[in-house]
Amino acid sequence: MIVVMKPDATAEQVDHMVAHIQSLGMSPQVLVGTQRTVIAAIGDERQGLAEVLEPGEGVDKVLPILAPYKRASSELTTERTVVKALGLSIGGVKIAAIAGPCSVESEAQIVGLAKTLKAMGATGLRGGAFKPRTSPYSFQGHKEDGLKMLATAREETGLAIVTEVMAPEHVPMVAKYADVLQIGARNMQNYQLLQAVGDSGKPALLKRGMSATIDEFLLAAEYILDRNNPNVILCERGIRTYEEHTRFTLPLATVPYLQDKSHLPVVVDPSHGTGKAKLVAPMSKAAIAAGADGLIIEVHDDPEHAMSDGSQTITPAAFAGLMAACKRVAEAVDRTM
């Protein structure tokens, strides 16, 4: 931690900060510059230390040196994590393809679609039973009935089920049916939920909050990892920016950046990331070229009549084309799909 004093900070203020840093168990070292004095605080830089030091008299700003996350960091865990659930494996050479409808609408729908997608190369099945909706007047999902339909689809196809859980008290129920518990972007900082998912022992697919920084994203993962659940998949799903021609802005540089800072696998959601069916295929290919460990894609037999998210959903036929195109790109970056 580097404490930068104001240009007019007094010797007393510097001394006070030195004592304060010592009282926190760190070792202070004072550097007198041409215009400013800075104090380096050497030792374990726990999260939140900056905000403790910043209100000090004569302090201008505090600059952290170490990353605030530990278990998610590639500094301490150097071996890359590979998350496995049934036949779904995320983080190895083979790129995962998780596909399915936004909402589970009926057993016939989800089972039929699962068979189709499996035949096309999907390795996981997504589908919402609990739907977080911006409006209380929108369709909220079939809840446990939806989960049962997903379980049936798994029985019929062997595909691992990836589905969202929205509240801590639902975790046991969702964990009973699902293979991977998805935490949605709106819940990335719902800490009770993160802990409950951590405690469930099930693999977690954690979506980046729509305005989360990388530190916040990895600290959210830390909440799960900290419950001794090592199976966390990070999912870049687009951030909110001033851009309005896409639903969100999908920043693919986060893929190699996260893979450098963390040992956790990273998947990309080009459906939410763009909000436009037409952009899903090019951004899927781009995600793979950037190094993504998997894709999660919304597919529906009849997007025009989907109960949610129709405009970003592609048809099975489009998905088949996307898979063929993505396989070629995967090979060009020494991966398989």
C-alpha of 142 from chain center: 25
Least distance from C-beta 155 to a copy of itself, angstroms? 29
Q: What is the nearest approach in angstroms of a copy of itself to the Cβ of residue 87? A: 25
Nearer to a copy of itself, 170 or 202 (CB): 170
For a copy of itself, the closer CB: 84 or 276: 276
Of 231 and 274, which has the nearer Cβ to a copy of itself?
Answer: 274
Q: CA separation (Å) from 116 to 59, 104, 122? A: 62, 15, 9
Q: To the nearest whole angstrom, how small is the minimum distance from the Cβ of residue 309 to a copy of itself?
A: 6
Residue 198 to residues 25, 32, 85, 225, 226: CA-CA distances in angstroms?
31, 46, 16, 7, 8
117 or 330: CB nearest a copy of itself: 330
Which is closer to a copy of itself, CB of 153 or CB of 175?
175
In terms of CB distance, is 69 or 319 closer to a copy of itself? 69
Cα separation, 7 vs 2, in Å, equals: 15
109 is written with which tokens?
């729908």
Decide: 104 and 146 in contact? Cβ < 8 Å: yes
DSSP 3-state of 221: helix
Report the DSSP beta bridge partners of residue 83.
Answer: 90
First to last CA, the chain: 44
CA distance readout (Å), 337 to 114, 240, 329, 332, 334: 18, 30, 9, 11, 10
**Smallest gap from residue 254 Cβ to a copy of itself (A):** 8
3-class secondary-structure state, position 27: strand
Closest CB 262 distance from a copy of itself, rounded Å: 12
Q: Is 254 left (phi over 0), alpha (psi -120 to 50) or beta?
A: alpha
d(CA 151, CA 133): 23
Q: Closest separation between CB of residue 21 and a copy of itself, Å?
A: 12
**Residue 161 corresponds to which tokens in the numbers above?**
């089920």
CB of 282 to a copy of itself, least distance (A): 4
Radius of gyration of the chain (CA): 23
Of 119 and 333, which has the nearer Cβ to a copy of itself? 333
Burial group, residue 88, by CB count within 10 angstroms (0-12, 13-18, 19+) = buried
Name the residue nearer to a copy of itself (CB basis): 11 or 23: 23
Q: CB of residue 7 vs a copy of itself: minimum separation in angstroms?
A: 5
* Distance (Å) of CA 311 to CA 31, 271, 303, 314: 58, 9, 7, 8
